[in-house]
Chain A
Amino acid sequence: QSALTQPASVSGSPGQSITISCTGTSSDVGSYNLVSWYQHHPGKAPKFMIYEGNKRPSGVSNRFSGSKSGNTASLTISGLQAEDEADYYCCSYSGASTWVFGGGTKLTVL
C-alpha cells in the first residue's frame, strides 16, 4: 500500500489561488470518491477540510474546494491568506477497510 503522491511544496501570494494534487491508483483514488483533505499546522491536531472529494464540513471556508479526475484528486485554495500556510494531506479509502495518506504538501504563503 503505497502513499498517495503529492508535491512536496507549493507557494502563492496572498489573494492568489493554488492547487495541490494527490495522485493515487485505480485501487484507491480512482476507485472511490472518498478522498479527504486535512490541514496540519505543526504541533496542532490536523483539521479536516474536504470529504468525499468535494464536500466541505461546516465551518470550513468556501475558499477551499476539492475535485477529482481519474486517479488524481486536487485541493484548490482560492484567495490565499497568511493563515492558510500549513501542511496539507490527502487521504483516500483504498478498499478492504484500509486507508492511505499522501506524503503531504507544505504550502507557503509568500
Chain B
Amino acid sequence: QVQVVQSGAEVRKPGASVKVSCKASGYTFSDYYIHWVRQAPGQGLEWMGWINLNSGGAHYAQKFQGWVSMTRDTSISTAYLELTSLKSDDTAVYSCARGGAFSGGRFSFYHFDFWGQGSLVTVSS
C-alpha cells in the first residue's frame, strides 16, 4: 500500500535553513510528482510547488521562488524540501503529497491522493 512518511520536527533560528524529507513507498516513485503544502498556525493550507520525481525539475508558487528548493533522491524514493533564510512567519507544518505526473500536455490527475503526516518547522530565536 502507498505510504508517505516525513521527517520529524525541526527548530531553527531566524536566518537559518532546514531540509525536510518525504519518503514514499508502495508505488513506482518516479511515476508521480510530489507537491509541498504548508499550514502556518491557525491558517489554512498553502500550495508551495511540485517536483517532477523523474527529471528533478521543480515548479514553485511565486512567493516561494528563490528561497525554497525541492529536490529528490530516486535511489531511496525520497523527496526533499529545503527552506533558506527562515523567518518567524515560516513556522508551519510542511506536508508532502503525491500528485499526477505531467505528460502529453496535461497532468495525469489534478488532486493530491496520498499525504505525509506533516513536519513541524519552528523558527524562533
Chain B positions within 8 Å of A104 at CB level? 44-45
Q: A51–B97 Cα gap in the complex (Å)?
A: 15
Q: How far is the CA of A38 from the CA of B45 in the complex (A)?
A: 10
| Contacts A99-B35, A101-B44, A101-B47 given; does A91 touch B118 at CB 8 Å | no
Count contacts on B: residues with CB < 8 A to the other chain: 25
Given contacts A97-B50, A97-B59, A101-B37, contact A36 B44 (CB under 8 A): no
Q: Nearest Cβ in chain B — how far from A103, in angstroms?
A: 4
Cβ of A1 and Cβ of B111 under 8 Å apart? no
Are the CB atoms of B44 and A103 closer together than 8 Å? yes
Q: Mark A43-81, 1 if CB is under 8 A from B, else 0.
A: 011111001100001000000000000000000000000
How far is A102 from B44 in the complex, measured between Cα atoms in Å?
A: 7
- The bracket for how many chain A residues form the interface is 20 to 34
List, in ascending order, chain B residues with CB within 8 A of A86's CB. none
Measured between beta carbons, the chain A residues less than 8 angstroms from B10 are none
Q: Which of A48, A52, A100 contacts B112 (CB 8 A)?
A: A48
**Known contacts A51-B109, A101-B44; can you find 6 more A-B pairs with CB under 8 A?**
A46-B45, A46-B95, A46-B115, A89-B45, A97-B59, A101-B46
